Structure 1
């Protein structure tokens, strides 16, 4: 436990839930594997969706790809959230001070903001576009930005253990 962390994170790490995770021979390991599997589902769906927005798979309807990908993005994100809470709780006071975790958290916020701005401002322009029709520049930008953001989130997540 790191006393330099804000009290809320020291309390999270000191909770019965976090103690159970640290004392279990399997809980942290299972959460870590679940986090990686959820990342694969999440990023696989994000990559397909974002590549379509960037102009790949032009023979498919963008609306169809977006609808189908969203299901897996949601499932993957829920898995990442649940397993991330377990991983974070076990070492909250240490992890919260890690600069790469802070960058990762900020990038997650940026990724969610990018997705929300796409849904609000760009999605209405993409809805109903026929296959082989060029997408608006804003859609291409949102897709490329999303891939870059989520790849960097994943890289930061893997690097947390080394800093």
Structure 2
């Protein structure tokens, strides 16, 4: 690992939140539980939305369902990123050496980029206006499910390596 990165990670590990989490089993437990809850919120929102976009679920109407589930997934993602960063700060060098963590971060980045592209596209605007999902949007919904579920599996994999 390059010296500058190692020093930055040591600095991160020495910051007060990291120290508090290492010293308090209860605080670590609560942040970890919040992380799991956030992941549940994200996956629990994105999977039904993706299934609806794919046509596996036929109702309710996408114009009603999509904005609510998208905002809920975004809130889950935001909370997962915050709590995940706190958990990472406890042992950053160990996490970066864990292949499952690296895979999870790649999938997280790809899933977030996919979601951003979906919401920037005309097909998403068309869905919100009451239209049917275009084939490209269906493809993105399928990719979304694979990326987020892969991220979930990779996250669980971290503890086994």
Asked if these proteins are the same fold (TM beyond 0.5), I'd say yes
1:28–1:86: 8 Å Cα contact kept in structure 2? no
Structure 2 counterparts to residues 70-149 of structure 1, below 5 A: 70-121=70-121, 122-130=123-131, 134-149=132-147
Question: Structure 1's 161 and 125: CA in aligned 2 closer, same or farther, altered over 3 A?
Answer: same
Q: In the TM superposition, what whole-angstrom CA distance separates every residue of 1:85-124 from its partner, at most 9, and x where no partner exists?
A: 2211111111122111111111111011111111122313
1:95 match: secondary structure: helix
- Tell me the TM-score normalized by structure 1: 0.88
RMSD: 1.9
2:38–2:79: 8 Å Cα contact kept in structure 1? yes
Q: Specify every segment of 5 or more residues in structure 1 that has no aligned partner in the other structure, as ranges.
A: none
Q: List 4+ stretches of structure 1 deviating above 4 A.
A: none
- Tell me the TM-score normalized by structure 2: 0.89
2:31 match: secondary structure: helix
**Do residues 40 (structure 1) and 51 (structure 2) align?**
no
- 1:63 is aligned to 63
Q: Specify every segment of 5 or more residues in structure 2 that has no aligned partner in the other structure, as ranges.
A: none
Greater helix share, 1 or 2? Answer: 2
Larger relative contact order (CA 8 Å, sep ≥ 6): 1
- 1:159 is aligned to 157
